[in-house]
Structure 1
């Protein structure tokens, strides 16, 4: 059995590569999907498909509609969602994706530092598990595959 894992979170650091590499080392049967990690492409996809927009707000709206399409498709297909909240970046998209996963009944693994406990307490309470590192998230998934 192979699980599809949606990796929700900021696209500015290499945390996804860390998870993918660790999963490969652990020989976990996981397929990873997530948001568009190329920030330029994500910001400009609306104009690429719909044409030039009259201002920055319309440009953002066009891009977000297409990015939301991508996210909805992959979240619906995901078997589990891992959402990373870090300290460096604002995490609005991560919160939106984690909330959508909860609404869809998708198992949610929340990665967040202890310093964000209070800010994320309600979301943490809805997750199946809250961990502090990507390694711990993969250890939890590894347990799913253990035989008796």
Structure 2
């Protein structure tokens, strides 16, 4: 069995690489996709459409352009992993989780225990809540090999 897994959320740590390495080490047939993780490139995604007078409109255009990629990759994924880090609020990750819930797309949240309360609704819609990347790899291993 093969799987496509979309990795959503926090972009300031190497959690995506940890999951990829773990899946490779276990010989899992997984294709990983992700949002653009270069913050500056993501912020500039709409710049080709012309300059804006305010940050709001620049962000708005860029979010629309970014959503082309995000929506398509989430819709094509078999599973989405949504990572919430502790340094920044990942509103985009919460949106991705809500999009998964609306589509009936399975998702796993990945975050520390100290932010359970603000993520209670997001976690309630998830098929699992993991606190480590190893747990995510364990889930993939089970789903693909059971």
Return the TM-score normalized by structure 2. 0.94
Residue of structure 2 in register with 1:35 after alignment: 35
Specify the alignment match of 2:113 in structure 1.
114
Which residue matches 1:127? 126
Structure number with greater CO (CA < 8 Å, separation at least 6) is 2
In the TM superposition, what is the alpha-carbon distance from 1:85 to its structure 2 partner? 1.2
Cα RMSD, aligned residues only: 1.1
What's the CA shift string for 1:12-66, capped at 9, x where partnerless? 2111111111111111111111110111111111012x12223322111110100
> Which ranges in structure 2 are unaligned for 5 or more consecutive residues?
none
Question: After superposition, where does 1:50-65 map in structure 2 within 5 Å?
Answer: 50-65=49-64
Aligned residues: 146
Q: Does the residue aligned with 2:5 lie in a helix, a strand or coil? A: strand
TM-score, length of structure 1 as denominator length? 0.93
Mapping of residues 68-107 of structure 1, within 5 Å: 68-107=67-106
List runs of 5+ in structure 1 lacking aligned partners.
none
